[in-house]
Structure 1
Amino acid sequence: MQEDLAALQARFGAHYPRWLLGILMVGSMAMVLASTSINVALPAIMLDFAIGRPMAQWLSTGFLAAMTAGLLLAAWAQARFGARRTAQLGLLLFIITSVLALVSQSAWQLIFLRIVQGVCAGIIQPLATVLIFRVFAEGGRGMALGVYGLGVMVAPTLGPTIGGYLVDHFGWAAVFWLPLPMCVLALIGAQWLLPSQREKSTPFLDVWAFALLGVALFASLGALAEAQRFNWYELRVWLPGLLGLAAFTGFFVRSKRSLKPLLPLRLWRHAGFRSASWVALTLGVGLYGSTYLIPLYLQTVEGYSAGRAGLLLLPTGILMGAASFFGGWLSDRLSAAVLLIGGLLVFALSSAGLGWIGPGASFVELCFWACVGRVGLGLLLPALSTGSLDILSAEELAQGAGAITFVRQLGGAFGVNLLTFFLEWRHRHEGADRAAEALAFQQSFWLMGAVFALTVLAAWGMRRNRS
């Protein structure tokens, strides 16, 4: 028997919305833990499997790229299977791949499992926002979203910290069983608390568009990864690059002609939404790129253990959560453009600071500049949501929110890949020794700061582009 939200509320009473919010937070936090805790384990994985950064970065970019594609399947999966079954199938597959990762014999096996986990995360996470909007329709939605957002922000704070400690004591495999207790709890809770109702008419799923998007993402990322080791004119570099370009072209052409596209391109007819998309792309680069670069820098150049690197990131997450709440409060009082410009400049200052202090800096100095960056990101998150969606009509809000999230995740996937490419290039160019490694990291931080500073132009455009 299918149960909808009304039936579940009648069964569990007035406390049902809070219980549902709790189980949604647990499931989402497990996905975020998996996406961020891997970064403190990368040096140990590189050592164990004798691989370099070009291959190791796939553990991060593969997950993010698959999650980006998975986001576009979420609405279809929920309608086709119902929220309960969608969440349970995604969590069960996530648990199975986590267990298989513990017995992986090669780096490519581990990368493949991370890609599968990324698809699961992409499908599961959007369910939370949809259900919160529906169950808190009569009031308390803002507070519920705030509590949910705070919980999700705690996960990237705790992930590297707990993950680093576990890696030091139990090896890199610990980051794969770290989210498992939360996954099991969410899997069991979903059976009682998530609605099982399906839509009578399942939305159209453009399988060809999804396939083209998958090929485009992984072929393009593959070309950039191979270019870190080989010359651009070699077949193994330019062929996947050409394939990725062709697949992206095919995806956009099909999306433009489709009546029900996976990605509604008509949203970008708004000049303000185009500007917001540039900011979202840069936000993804900073959010995931810094989470990738900082732990790697601390362990590779500064000689930190995984646990100490994770400990340095603990206050950064706390400040990011506080800044996000403050940014949400300011969003009701200041224009989105002002907040976006402020957040971009604060993060640019942080990146410049990390590049300027150089190797040998104290724990406090490094932590300070990392915290400054998280304050900037915290200001950006709510301002981007309000600034991008205020431009759209009421009928376009749901699609606009999904599109901005898609662009942000896309920025994260390609940002990590491009930063790794730049890091490897500068390392070789500066002499490929230990001093060159430190200098390459400094230049990578400067590059990230320059990208954020340039994106101020797009944020400024949102001030006047409102149609």
Structure 2
Amino acid sequence: MNQLSPEEAQGSAPPQAQTAVVWTAILASSMVFADGAIVTVAIPQMRESLHASLAEMQWVTNAYALTLSAFLLLGGAAGDAYGLRRVFMIGIACFGLTSLWCGLSQSAGMLIAARAFQGIGGALLVPGSLALISAHFPPEARGKAIGTWAAASAIAAALGPILGGWLIDVGPWQTIFWINLPVAGLALWLCWRRVPDSPAASDAPMDWIGAALAVIALGLLAYGLTALGEQEGRRVTAALATVAGMVALGVFILHEKRTAAPMMPLDLFRVPAFANVNALTLLLYFALSGALFFLPTVLIEAHGYSATEAGSVFLPFTIVMALLSRLGGAMAHRFGVRRLLTAGPVVTGLSFALLVPAVFHGNYWSAVAPVMAIMGLGMGITVAPLSTTVMNAAPGDRVGVASGINNAVSRVAGLVAVAGLGVVATLGFRQAAAWAAPEVADGFARATFGALPPGAPRSLYATGMIGGFGLVALICAAAAVASAWLGYRSVPPAGPEPVSSP
């Protein structure tokens, strides 16, 4: 995401320093990549411990996603302006300290605040991982180094939820945040002692106004969508906040058009392939984030999964996706990018639809794991050609910015999904319970997804949970299948062609 100077891009460091760069990037970015799934596994225990509502648990996830997505592009520019190594170390330290803060939180409000600051640390950290590798490896060795980093990050993403679930089963939920402290400490020490410093470009522009407008717009949208799922009396406030967020988003777009150094250059969206593939990303990652946010909770609450078992449901998905992503180049050459960007989202959408009967059945090996493997198949044949299309749609000197925009779009999609699908889950939860037992419908009328009404039978609660998740999964399936049309439009039949820089 960082715009490296030609000297940096072609430079290299001694072999020992290069090894330290790769390991520092792996340790630091693994904390961020594993974070999302680990937190979703912990939601039931956190909600019970903190006496929190569904909306507060949504904000535990979204406060982090909000600042991460809003500051992600600015984080790359900060590395250019103040030095890659310095900003990267600040990001690691911020992520580690805010992880400690998360673990010490005694209320949902304090945890939400800590998660917001943790997202800022992640926004400084994530762009620096690849930028440091690019800055310290020559072009001929850069691909292997990035491949090592990507493989290790995939392993961390696969094992993180299982480790997080085990920590929750044997101890308090706070341990899922405290586990970041030794990792951050080791990464910080390694970066300080072994990673060479990189020069700062004092004239690199920073779009602080754009970042602030992004936080305001996304924050208002997330608040409005989340509040829709709460008490009836807050519907007007929710609607006003949503409208205000859309207005703020319009102001952000106007600012990005007029400012001399936008953090999100909108002229890239004039390229049809770039616009279509980012719209695909928005729909597909909306579906993925929405389904995976609610999945661990329904398995724990409706089927009695332990946190470790709930975390392990991510394993088939991650393994299959990681294996197929590494074969993305060969598959694109054989089948064509257009076919993969069409078939991949369709398969992924099918997997979301199949989650409905799988979660109703509940058995891990015969129902849930096979469907998660199908989901990994769909995403695995989508991710690599999606990245290829993003890169090929942008001029050579703006590939980093294009990649950063696509990353930010995927984060925003998750933010909107978690905020907006809470009301859907609660609606399905209430309707399923009322349909199964009309005589106790009043007891569920004010309950939210994941909250057992006082005196309600546990079996009826499980039915409501399965119904709520089922409605969410079907909406996610529709969004994923709709994104396939955008994938078909993203690439001409002959394949993507790079756009020359003007």
Per-residue Cα deviation, 1:184-235 (whole angstroms, up to 9, x for no partner): 1111011133343333433222222211110011111001111101348744
**Percent of aligned positions that are identical:** 25
1:265 aligned to 2:293?
A: no
The 5 Å alignment of 1:30-429 reads 30-231=31-232, 234-364=235-365, 365-429=367-431
Q: For 2:391 and 2:308, locate their aligned partners in 1 and report how far apart those are by CA, in whole Å.
A: 39
Q: Are the counterparts in 2 of residues 337 and 387 from structure 1 also a CA contact under 8 Å?
A: no
Q: Are the counterparts in 2 of residues 283 and 377 from structure 1 also a CA contact under 8 Å?
A: no
Structure 1 residue 420, shift from structure 2 partner: 2.0
Change (3 A) 1:49 1:200: closer
Q: What is the TM-score normalised by the length of structure 1?
A: 0.93
Per-residue Cα deviation, 1:30-75 (whole angstroms, up to 9, x for no partner): 1222232111100001111122322201111221121101212212
- State the AA in 1 paired with 2:181: L
- State the AA in 1 paired with 2:489: G
Q: For 2:229 and 2:175, locate their aligned partners in 1 and report how far apart those are by CA, in whole Å.
A: 29
Structure 1 residue 316, shift from structure 2 partner: 2.6
Per-residue Cα deviation, 1:263-287 (whole angstroms, up to 9, x for no partner): 1000110111111011111232244
Change (3 A) 1:284 1:330: same
Change (3 A) 1:131 1:197: closer
Runs of 4+ in 1 over 6 A off after TM superposition: none
Name structure 2 gaps, 5 residues minimum: 1-6, 435-443, 445-459
- Secondary structure at the aligned position of 2:361 is classed as coil
Per-residue Cα deviation, 1:285-309 (whole angstroms, up to 9, x for no partner): 2443333122122112222111111
Structure 1 residue 372, shift from structure 2 partner: 1.1
Change (3 A) 1:352 1:266: same
Q: For 1:210 and 1:313, locate their aligned partners in 2 and report how far apart those are by CA, in whole Å.
A: 32
Structure 1 residue 14, shift from structure 2 partner: 2.8
Match of 2:3 in 1: none
- State the AA in 1 paired with 2:315: L
Compare 421-430 and 348-357 and name the one that shifted more. 421-430
1:437 aligned to 2:465?
A: yes
Q: What is the TM-score normalised by the length of structure 2?
A: 0.87
Q: For 2:265 and 2:17, locate their aligned partners in 1 and report how far apart those are by CA, in whole Å.
A: 34
Q: Are the counterparts in 1 of residues 151 and 322 from structure 2 also a CA contact under 8 Å?
A: yes
Structure 1 residue 375, shift from structure 2 partner: 2.0
Q: For 1:9 and 1:330, locate their aligned partners in 2 and report how far apart those are by CA, in whole Å.
A: 32
Q: Are the counterparts in 1 of residues 223 and 419 from structure 2 also a CA contact under 8 Å?
A: no
Q: For 1:366 and 1:412, locate their aligned partners in 2 and report how far apart those are by CA, in whole Å.
A: 22
- State the AA in 2 paired with 1:23: T
- State the AA in 2 paired with 1:463: V
- Secondary structure at the aligned position of 2:197 is classed as coil
Structure 1 residue 143, shift from structure 2 partner: 2.1
Change (3 A) 1:232 1:252: farther
Name structure 1 gaps, 5 residues minimum: none
Q: Are the counterparts in 1 of residues 352 and 473 from structure 2 also a CA contact under 8 Å?
A: yes
Structure 1 residue 358, shift from structure 2 partner: 4.5
- State the AA in 1 paired with 2:425: L
Structure 1 residue 167, shift from structure 2 partner: 0.2
1:459 aligned to 2:487?
A: yes
Compare 198-207 and 251-260 and name the one that shifted more. 198-207
- State the AA in 1 paired with 2:17: Y
Structure 1 residue 27, shift from structure 2 partner: 0.7
Change (3 A) 1:395 1:361: same
Structure 1 residue 453, shift from structure 2 partner: 0.8
Q: How many residues align?
A: 462
Question: Cα RMSD over matched residues?
Answer: 2.2
Compare 330-339 and 184-193 and name the one that shifted more. 330-339
Q: For 1:200 and 1:64, locate their aligned partners in 2 and report how far apart those are by CA, in whole Å.
A: 29
Q: For 2:217 and 2:402, locate their aligned partners in 1 and report how far apart those are by CA, in whole Å.
A: 22
- State the AA in 1 paired with 2:474: W
Match of 2:439 in 1: none
Change (3 A) 1:95 1:131: closer
Per-residue Cα deviation, 1:228-266 (whole angstroms, up to 9, x for no partner): 013487443123223212211110000011121111000
Structure 1 residue 111, shift from structure 2 partner: 0.8
Compare 114-123 and 390-399 and name the one that shifted more. 390-399
Structure 1 residue 401, shift from structure 2 partner: 1.0
Q: Are the counterparts in 2 of residues 328 and 382 from structure 1 also a CA contact under 8 Å?
A: yes
- Secondary structure at the aligned position of 1:172 is classed as coil
Q: Are the counterparts in 1 of residues 344 and 379 from structure 2 also a CA contact under 8 Å?
A: yes
Compare 281-290 and 254-263 and name the one that shifted more. 281-290
Per-residue Cα deviation, 1:139-198 (whole angstroms, up to 9, x for no partner): 122222222111111222111100001101112111111222211111101113334333
1:446 aligned to 2:474?
A: yes
